[in-house]
Every structure is written in structure tokens, then in C-alpha cells.
């Protein structure tokens, strides 16, 4: 799915057209958010169902195998229940990944939301500066592949990407545990980069 192009601008239609797996999760979490914070407004941005107060507070991403709940100032929120997954990028967005609501810590999510809304409402607290992260090293096998003549388009595509988008590819390639997984990811990466795609768009035909 091309995350840069929303399938609809209507929140109700967005919910109705979620993937089968994440649709019931999105419906329930959407209801929770508007029950807990009824003054938030809904909009569609980056193919996400977003909720705003003064500014963007959080958003839902309905994926094929999970529901993502992103908090736009997540790095400024206390998370004692450890709902947030690590963020390899340099943004302040942190996300919760939900695959089932059975056993999910609903109250921890509610506390996160209330804290996020309170933070957004306080105009005296400016957003934290973006986190500065150590550059992710380029795997040798990827560096060697980009240096090959037949991969010139992929190399040019990679170097045109912003550092944040380059990092997504580097983390993905580096995290492959098995040689066959690494080889497949390298093939997919070279193909996507030659076509000018970011990591999130790599599966487009």
C-alpha cells in the first residue's frame, strides 16, 4: 500500500475499508479514543485516521496483520506499561502495535491518551526537539551491491533519500538473521530503490 496516498478522506469510510484483520481492532480503538477524549477531531493524513486537539495527538494505521496506534509526541510521554515499540527513526512519534485486544492493557492506553491530550493542550510546552540518533552503519553486503554497475539506479535512489528513509532500509537489511532472508531483502531493496520507493512502499508492484 502506498502510504503517501490515502484511500479516502472520510473517517467513516476509512474505517469501513480497513483490512479484514485490523478492521475490528480499529473500530474498537476508535470508539475508545472518542469515548475517552470526545473533543478530539478526526481527519485522514498519510492514510492514517488521525485525532487532533490543538495539533495532531494520535493516529491509527490499519495494516494487514496489526493495528498501529501512533502518538505524535510519544517521546514526551511516560510509558510505565511499555506499550510503545522502539522507534528506529529520528522522529518523536512512538507507536503501539496491536494484534489482539484480548489481554491488552486498555487502561494504560487510556492514560497515554489523556497525557497526550493534556500535553497538546498546554501551549506553554513546545514540542521536544527531534531525537538525534547515531547513524546506522551500512552493511558491507549492501555497500558492495550498490557499488555494482547493474545497481546504479538503486544506488542513486538510495542516495536521494533523506537520512531517515535511508535508515529504514539499513535497519531492515541489518536485522535479517538467515542468509536467505538477507538475500531476499537485498533483492527487494535494490528493486524498490531503483524504482524510487521508500521502505514503506517497497512492496508496490
- Position 1 scores a pLDDT of 36
Count of structural domains within the chain: 2
> What band does 91 get if pLDDT is binned at 50, 70 and 90?
confident
Chain-centroid distance of CA 41 in Å reads: 21
**Domain ranges, residue 175:** 140-201
Based on the domain organization, do 145 and 107 belong to the same domain?
A: no
Angle at 155 between CA 153 and CA 158, to 5 degrees: 110
In a domain? residue 5: no
Which cell numbers hold the place of 176? 535479517
The residues with which 85 forms a beta bridge, in sequence order, are: 95
Q: What average pLDDT does the segment 13-18 reach?
A: 94
Based on the domain organization, do 58 and 94 belong to the same domain?
A: yes
Listed residues 88, 121, 154: the one ending a domain = 121
- Position 174 scores a pLDDT of 93
Based on the domain organization, do 62 and 149 belong to the same domain?
A: no
What is the arrangement of strands in the sheet containing 84-85, beginning at the earlier edge strand? 41-45, 48-52, 56-62, 67-71, 94-98, 84-85
- Residue 170 in this model has a pLDDT that exceeds 70: yes
Helix (H) or strand (E) holding 34: helix 23-36
Which one, of 112, 161, 122, 106, lies nearest residue 138 by Cα?
A: 161
The overall average pLDDT reported for the chain is 91
Share of the chain above pLDDT 70, in %: 93
| Beta carbons within 10 angstroms of residue 75's beta carbon | 18
> What band does 9 get if pLDDT is binned at 50, 70 and 90?
confident
Based on the domain organization, do 61 and 111 belong to the same domain?
A: yes
- Position 133 scores a pLDDT of 66
- Position 2 scores a pLDDT of 38
Listed residues 121, 156, 178: the one ending a domain = 121
Based on the domain organization, do 101 and 60 belong to the same domain?
A: yes
Listed residues 91, 121, 151: the one ending a domain = 121
Based on the domain organization, do 97 and 20 belong to the same domain?
A: yes
Q: What average pLDDT does the segment 130-148 reach?
A: 88
In a domain? residue 62: yes
Based on the domain organization, do 147 and 102 belong to the same domain?
A: no
Share of the chain above pLDDT 90, in %: 78
CATH number of the domain that residue 26 is part of: 3.90.1150.200
> What band does 4 get if pLDDT is binned at 50, 70 and 90?
very low
Q: What is the largest CA-CA distance in the chain?
A: 57
Which one, of 186, 187, 164, 165, lies nearest residue 175 by Cα?
A: 186
Q: What average pLDDT does the segment 103-115 reach?
A: 98
Q: What is the DSSP string of 52-117?
A: ESSSEEEEEEE-SS-EEEEETTGGGS--TT--EEP--SSSS-EEEEES--TT--HHHHHHHHHHHH
In a domain? residue 180: yes
The residues with which 50 forms a beta bridge, in sequence order, are: 43, 59
In a domain? residue 87: yes
In a domain? residue 188: yes
Residue 45, SS3 per DSSP:
strand
Amino acid at each position: 500500500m502506498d502510504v503517501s496516498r490515502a484511500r479516502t478522506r472520510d473517517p467513516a469510510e476509512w474505517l469501513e475499508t480497513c483490512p479484514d484483520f485490523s478492521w475490528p481492532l480499529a473500530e474498537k480503538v476508535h470508539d475508545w479514543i472518542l469515548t475517552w477524549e470526545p473533543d478530539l477531531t478526526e481527519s485522514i493524513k498519510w492514510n492514517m485516521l488521525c485525532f487532533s486537539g490543538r495539533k495532531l495527538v494520535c493516529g491509527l494505521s490499519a495494516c494487514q496483520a496489526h493495528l498501529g496506534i501512533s502518538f505524535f509526541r510519544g517521546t514526551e510521554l511516560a510509558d510505565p506499561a511499555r506499550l510503545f515499540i522502539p522507534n528506529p527513526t529520528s522522529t518523536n512519534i512512538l507507536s503501539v502495535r496491536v494484534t489482539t485486544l484480548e489481554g491488552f492493557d486498555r487502561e494504560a492506553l487510556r492514560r497515554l491518551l489523556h497525557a497526550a491530550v493534556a500535553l497538546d493542550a498546554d501551549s506553554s510546552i513546545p514540542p521536544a526537539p527531534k531525537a538525534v540518533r547515531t547513524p546506522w552503519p551500512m552493511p558491507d553486503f549492501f555497500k558492495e551491491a550498490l557499488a555494482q554497475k547493474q545497481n546504479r539506479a538503486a544506488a542513486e535512489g538510495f542516495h536521494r533519500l533523506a537520512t531517515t528513509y535511508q535508515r529504514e532500509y539499513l535497519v531492515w537489511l541489518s536485522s535479517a538473521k538467515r542468509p536467505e532472508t538477507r538475500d531476499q531483502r537485498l533483492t527487494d531493496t535494490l528493486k524498490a530503490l531503483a524504482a524510487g520507493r521508500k521502505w514503506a512502499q517497497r512492496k508496490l508492484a
